[in-house]
Amino acid sequence: MSRPEVPLRSRLPDRVTIVEVAPRDGLQAERTTVPTEAKLEFIERLVAAGHTVVEATSFVSPEAVPQLADAGALLSRLRKTPGVRYPVLVPNARGLERALEAGVSEVAVFLSASESYSQKNLRRSRAEALEMVTPVIARAKDAGLRVRGYLSMVIADPWDGPTSPQVVVDAGRALLGLGCDELSLGDTIGIGTAADVQRLLAAFVAADVPASALAVHFHDTYGQGLANVLAALELGVTTIDASAAGIGGSAFAKGAAGNLATEDLLWMLDGLGIETGVRVREVAAAGAWMCERLGREPAGRVARALA
């Protein structure tokens, strides 16, 4: 039996793309080292659940993030499914060259909207970080790669306080202007509310950046992840980052709890009749499987309820 329509539904999209970030953004923050074989099976389980975009790994310095030191080995053994994208993060020119050698078709670059986080994470000012990624994006586009831009601390920074929406818009437009195909806006410490999200997205729209060019990436530190997704959907965003079992958080930012759990997101979207192509119970099972290897319980509420 079909459910009766609700007023909210008319303001929301019919379909959403979920970018599953657990294998990279999720695992990089976990202290327990996961063997390459387990990472590969995790990715395969997520794809089998219906995901069409799975962030596979990062060519970051092994000294900075030991968890992802096996990026090259992982990609060499990854059995790719047709129609599925496997973006990888590249922090600099060397990371991009390693990614190209591995035969990737999509990369992501990273900037911070706040000065302190840029200094602590990238060891560069925001201006220096933008200068660093400029040739990386150009080289990637010349090689025919799709490029995703990550922009962190878009609501607030634990050291600098609230982030000005105009600063975020300026940084985001810079990344898009350099050639990024998509811009993912990250509330890295999960402090934002639905009002913060809509103010920020409205600032982008006012600056002639369409919602179709934007994605959102929420952490659930204060339990606002789903409300913030709903706020973004109302303003036309249709790409949402999430992490199976809520795995991860920022390895470089104090106060950053886990990513929004993919199962929680799917439960809400399924209830609203929004298509994703991803099956919530299979994602929950994949997340629980990985959490067993990490030695902890899934962070998402839906996974715990289903269990």
Pick out the chain residues at pLDDT < 50.
251-253, 255-256
Residue 9's alpha-carbon distances to 170, 202, 216, 225, 245, in angstroms, are: 32, 20, 20, 19, 26
**127: domain CATH number?**
3.20.20.70
Angle at 144 between CA 64 and CA 59, to 5 degrees: 10
Long-range interactions of 41-45: CB distance < 8 A, separation 24+: 41/289, 42/286, 42/289, 42/290, 43/78, 43/86, 44/79, 45/282, 45/285, 45/286, 45/289
Instruction: Examine residue 253 and state whether it is found in any structural domain, yes or no.
Output: yes
Task: Report residue 242 as tokens.
Answer: 């999430």
Q: What is the number of structural domains in the chain? A: 1
Instruction: Examine residue 4 and state whether it is found in any structural domain, yes or no.
Output: no
Instruction: Examine residue 3 and state whether it is found in any structural domain, yes or no.
Output: no
Sign (positive/negative) of CA torsion 163, 122, 242, 100?
positive
Instruction: Examine residue 9 and state whether it is found in any structural domain, yes or no.
Output: no
Instruction: Examine residue 189 and state whether it is found in any structural domain, yes or no.
Output: yes
pLDDT (0 to 100) of residue 256: 47
In whole angstroms, give the CA distance from residue 153 to residue 235.
20
Cα-flanking dihedrals φ and ψ of residue 171, to 5°? -65, -40
pTM of the model: 0.95
pLDDT (0 to 100) of residue 267: 98
Give the three-class secondary structure for 3.
coil
Instruction: Examine residue 78 and state whether it is found in any structural domain, yes or no.
Output: yes
Instruction: Examine residue 114 and state whether it is found in any structural domain, yes or no.
Output: yes
End-to-end CA distance of the chain: 26
Instruction: Examine residue 1 and state whether it is found in any structural domain, yes or no.
Output: no
Q: 133 is in which domain, residue-wise?
A: 14-306
pLDDT (0 to 100) of residue 250: 52
Burial 127-139, CB ≥16 within 10 A → b, else e = eebbebbeebbeb
